[in-house]
Every structure is written in structure tokens, then in C-alpha cells.
Amino acid sequence: MSSAGPGNRSLGHTLPTLEWCAVAALALAGLTMLHGRTLRSGFTRLPGDLGDTRFLLLVLEHGFRYLRGDALAQHFWSPAWEFFPSRNALAYSENLVGDLPLYVPLRLWGLDPTRAFGAWIVLCSLLNFWATVLLGRSLGLSRLGSGAAATLFAFGMPRSQQLNHVQLFPQFWTPLCFFALVASWRAWRANRWLAARLWVAGSLACIAGQVAAGVYLGDFLMLGLLALASLGAVRIATDGVARADVRHFVERTATAWLVGGALAATLLFPIGAAYGRAHRELGGRDWREVGLMLPRVVSYLAPNPGSTFYGWLNPLGAGLPLSWEHTMFAGFAPLIALAWLATAWWRRKLPVADWVVAATVGVWCLACLTTLYLGSYHGDPVSLWRLVRVLPGLDALRGVSRITMLELLPAGLAVGIAVTALMRSARRWQVVLGGLLAVLPLVENWSQCPANVSRDEILSRARAVPRASPRAAKSFSGAAARAIRHWSCTSTRCLPRWISGSQPSMDTPATNLRAGPSSIRKGPRPFDLRSGSLAREGPAPRSACLTEVVAACDDLDRERGGEDPIARFVENAIASDGGSGFSPSRERGQDLADLGF
């Protein structure tokens, strides 16, 4: 007996270490799969394309320069390089304010903007992983189970498919928010009132951080909390003990909720005010436009086109509208784990608390049901989302299928709970099966993740702008060029009202806009597509957004595999007023070269 004791203690110390090593190996493998090319290039190659990637790089760098007090970044919400001279233009899209605490130190460390941007993306993935590990451990999952959950959340196929939209990557605030809520509840159960109040304040800070980090991610976190509150309301209504516990918890932490909520609202007020002005100017998304990106049932079986093992499923999503936005398949492991959890909860054979299982399955199911496309009626999409989007700000969301970013969290936790149950079994074969299940999410979601944007290409295009366009645009604005580019990609994002009087109709597809009538009326002046000129009626807003205009033309050429009529229309419109003599500096516009790229 005396000899067995030290051996058991040694084994008890060794197994946790081995488990943590396995978790770290999962993180390293996931980073290699998702960002391998960016890491090997020394952050000189970035994921995505020259559209969103370059735009988000500009947004982050603009925030850094604004904090530094640069003369060219004096107005945060009205950058001189976007939609000039329209005010509050940054609120037309993502602002990434909540990501500056990560990006700014990288810039201060000496990295140039492109390398700092690449390092920021990798850092977001790491934080997504370890924040989910922290949440899993707080919910009672084993170390390996938490690692499996984090692997699916941080490196799942739906996220790798969104490498073109890296604004969907800084989601670590979401698992941290749920972790803080769990910690506050457990501190209250242990009669540690101060700790409970501090954790409540921490959860509210995480909500503010996620809302500031990204529009979509902030809205999805709020929807997740709303789903959790709905499930809690059902539990409270049917369980008197739970009702009493919640009442006592709220009474003890009421001050923290009020003070923390007031502080979070104060911090978010400038963001809300800016987006409120943009919403009043542009309005919400057309419902038929939103319907194109509502998840279908088959969307949950549509893999990343670069999937290593599930390429044979690609035909399932090929017929979906905007099919690249319907990549919601994260492997069969989470689907099987969710089904197993539902049956295990019914039989009360659970490795964790029953409320953890109910919340995991319930949030995933509610997220699916409230966003699912159910059909059409007289041409209008039918979905419960039409009722949900009446909540403030939700009618501005177009890519509803991106709700999969939230669904990855409960799906990953379901896999983690299954791994935990198997690893705690007394049967060796089940322990081995649990280890294999922990690795399965990484294997199933392994995909080819290209890094298409090179630092040299960004620099060369930025330096070429002044030479390619010696005269600034007097009669054409970068906002129009950008909107035309969106139209050519079958998007119907409307123009600012100082250019267009109304939002394009969903009944007018992009192909009709290119080949359609010779003159399309948008506001006080017609766009003549056949002659390639802009009518001279009325005053024309001046714009020095040469980077926006030339980039739109170049991108259209690249996308269409040759000269595009819309691109030629933009270039001819710029040249139609030749000899204006206005320079970007005198018109308060900015090129990428002015930003020091």
C-alpha cells in the first residue's frame, strides 16, 4: 500500500499535464490549418481578398491613427478615405473599436499595418480557443473535453469559410461573457457576495467588448443571451426552488447589474448613436435581400469548399443563393453529440449539471429555429427571423447565416460534454473513444485555408493610385463606385441619400443593372451605362476617394476575368470631367499611400 500511494500521486500529476499538452497540440494544429500560410509568411500574406481584408485593415489603422492624434484621422466616424464627403460613413459598416486594444499594442511594438493586421487575426483565433477552454472548465468539462469544444469554436469549417470576413473572428468576448455569468452564480452560491458582484460587472464588460468588436458578433451575443434568458424563464416558471434562487441572486447583485449596465451603456452610447444616424439615413435591409442569406436545412450540411474530407457534400449547397454564405456544416460529431445530449438529459444520465446540458442544446436549437428559412409566400421569405428582427439594430443585418458563429459555441460544448462523459468512464474502450472524439472535430473540419492577399500587392496598388489617376474626381464619388461594385456582386447595399434617393429593388438583379436600360435614375442625375458618362445635371459632390474608385475598377476586372462594363463606366465617369485640378490633399481625401502603407 505504501508503494502504491506515491505512484498514484505521480500518475495524478502526470495525467493533467498530458491532457494540457494535448489541448495545446489541438490549438497549434488548428492555427496551422487556419493561419498556416500567414504564419509562414511572417504575416506578409493575409486571408481574404483585396475587398474586405483591405477595408478592415484601413478601419483598424484609422482607429490607431485617431488615438495617436494624426492630422489625417481627426474625425473618427467620418474618415476622409471612405465615402468622402459623406459624414458618419464609418457607421455604414464595421468600426472594430473593440479590437483596438489588441491591434494598437502590435503597432506600438513596431509592426507595420499589414503585419499587425495579420498578427491580430492570429491572436483573435488564439483567444477564441483559450476563452472557450476557460468556459468549458467552468462548466465542469474535462481538460480534453474543453479542448475539443474550443477546437470546434475557434477552427470549425464555418469560421474558416469566413476568412474573407475576418470581422467575424474576434469572438472571444462571447465565451468570456458566459464564463463570467457562471462564475458570478457560483460565487453567490458560495456566499462570496463581492466576488459575485465583480463577476456580474465582468459579464457586462464582456458584452460591451463584443458589441464594440463587431456588429454581427455583438448582435449574436445578445441573441444568445436572450435565448438563455428564455430558457431560464421556462425553468423558473416550472421550478419553485430555481425561482427562489434566482430572486436571491438578483437581490444580492442588483447594484452590480445597475452600475455595470449604466457604465456599459455609457461606453457604447457613441457607437449606438453613430449607427442610429446611419440607420435613419439608410434604413434597414430589404426583407427579400435578407431572405437570400437565411439558413436552409441543407445549409447545415454544406461544407467549406476546401474541406479535406467532405468535398463530396459540396453539391448540396451549390444551388443555394449566395452559396458561399451558407457554409454551416461543422462535421457530424457536433450533430451526433447534440442528439446524444438530448437523450441523456431526458434519461438524467449526465456528466455535468443538467442546466448546462439544457442551455447547450436549447441555445443551439433556438438559434437554428429562429433563423431558419421556412419557404416563401408571394415571393417573400417565411421565417421566424422576421419577428426577431424588429429588435433594435437587427434589421440592418444581411448575413443571417452567420449565426453559425454563435452556434459553434453550444455545438462545441456538446462535443466537449460527450468527451468528458467517455473519459470519466471506468471502461478502457470508452476512454480511448473519448480521446478519439476529442480529435475528431479538428480532423472533420480540416480545410484548405488560402492567404490570398500579399503585403506587396497592397503596397503596389496604394502607390499606383496617384499615377493611375492624376486628376481627382470632381463629378463622381467613391461612394457610387463602391455601391456599383456591390451591385455587380449581386448585393443591394444602398447609396447614401446624398447620392441616391432610394434603395435598389430586389426585383432588379445585378445582371440587369449591367445590361439593362441605358439610363438608370438614382437621385438627381442619371447613370448612363452605354455612353459611360455621368449626366451633368445639378451640383455634383466632390470626392478625392481615388483609392476607392480605382480599387473598385481593378477588383471588378479581377472578378470578371477581363474588362467589366461597370468598371469602364466608373473610369469614364472620372475622366468625363477632366481638368478639374482638385488634389486629394486639398479636398481632404486620403489615399492608402497617405496612410503610410
Pick the residue with more confidence: 386 or 528? 386
pLDDT at site 590:
41
Residue 455's pLDDT band, with cuts at 50, 70 and 90, is: confident
pLDDT of the residue at 574: 43
Q: Is the pLDDT of residue 192 over 50?
A: yes
Residue range 326-354: mean pLDDT, rounded? 84
pLDDT tens figures, 25-80: 999 999 999 999 899 888 888 888 777 888 898 899 999 999 998 877 888 898 87
Type and span of the H or E element at 212:
helix 193-213
pLDDT score recorded for residue 147: 95
Q: Which of 559, 542, 547, 570 is nearest to 484 (CA)?
A: 570
Identify the CA nearest to 341 among candidates 322, 355, 327.
355
For residue 220, pLDDT beyond 50: yes
Please state, for a pLDDT cut of 70, what percent of the chain lies above it: 73
pLDDT top residue among 111 and 541: 111
- The whole-angstrom separation of Cα 505 and Cα 492 is 8
| 521: pLDDT strictly greater than 70 | no
pLDDT category at 329 given cuts 50, 70, 90 is very high
CA distance 43 to 28: 17
Residues 471-500: tens digit of each pLDDT: 333 223 343 444 333 333 322 222 222 222
Reported confidence tier of residue 148, pLDDT bands at 50, 70, 90: very high
Q: Quick one: pLDDT at residue 17?
A: 83
pLDDT at 556 over 60: no
> In whole numbers, what is the pLDDT of the chain averaged over residues?
77
Least confident of 306-315, 334-343, 375-384, 484-493: 484-493
What is the model's pLDDT at position 552?
Answer: 52
Please write the tens of the pLDDT for every residue from 293-325: 999 999 999 998 888 899 899 888 888 888 888
Rounded CA gap, 362 and 355, in Å?
Answer: 10
159-168, 206-215, 366-375, 492-501: the lowest-pLDDT one: 492-501
In this prediction, residue 284 has a pLDDT band, given cuts at 50, 70 and 90, of confident
**pLDDT at 463 (0 to 100):** 52
Threshold 0.85, pTM exceeds = no
Least confident of 9-13, 251-255, 456-460: 9-13
Closest CA relative to residue 543, chosen from 88, 85, 92: 85
Res 181: pLDDT: 95
- Grid cell of 592 as nine digits: 492608402
- The grid coordinates listed for 186 are 457560483
Give the C-alpha distances (Å, rounded to integers) separating 9 from 4, 14, 364, 420, 544.
Answer: 9, 9, 40, 22, 71
User: The cell 443585418 sits on which residue?
Assistant: 397
More confident residue, 509 or 426: 426
Please say if the pLDDT value at position 449 is more than 50.
yes
CA nearest to 153, candidates 348, 330, 392: 330
Q: Which residue has the higher pLDDT, 514 or 113?
A: 113
Residue 596 φ/ψ region, left for φ over 0, alpha for ψ in the -120 to 50 degree band, beta for the rest: left
Percent of the chain with pLDDT over 90: 41
CA distance 590 to 4: 73
Task: Tell me what pLDDT residue 471 has.
Answer: 33
CA distance linking residue 245 with residue 485, whole number of Å: 55
* SS3 assignment for 319-358: CCCCHHHHCCCCCHHHHHHHHHHHHHHHHCCCCCCHHHHH
Average pLDDT over residues 102-124: 93
Instruction: At 561, list the grid cell.
Output: 476575368
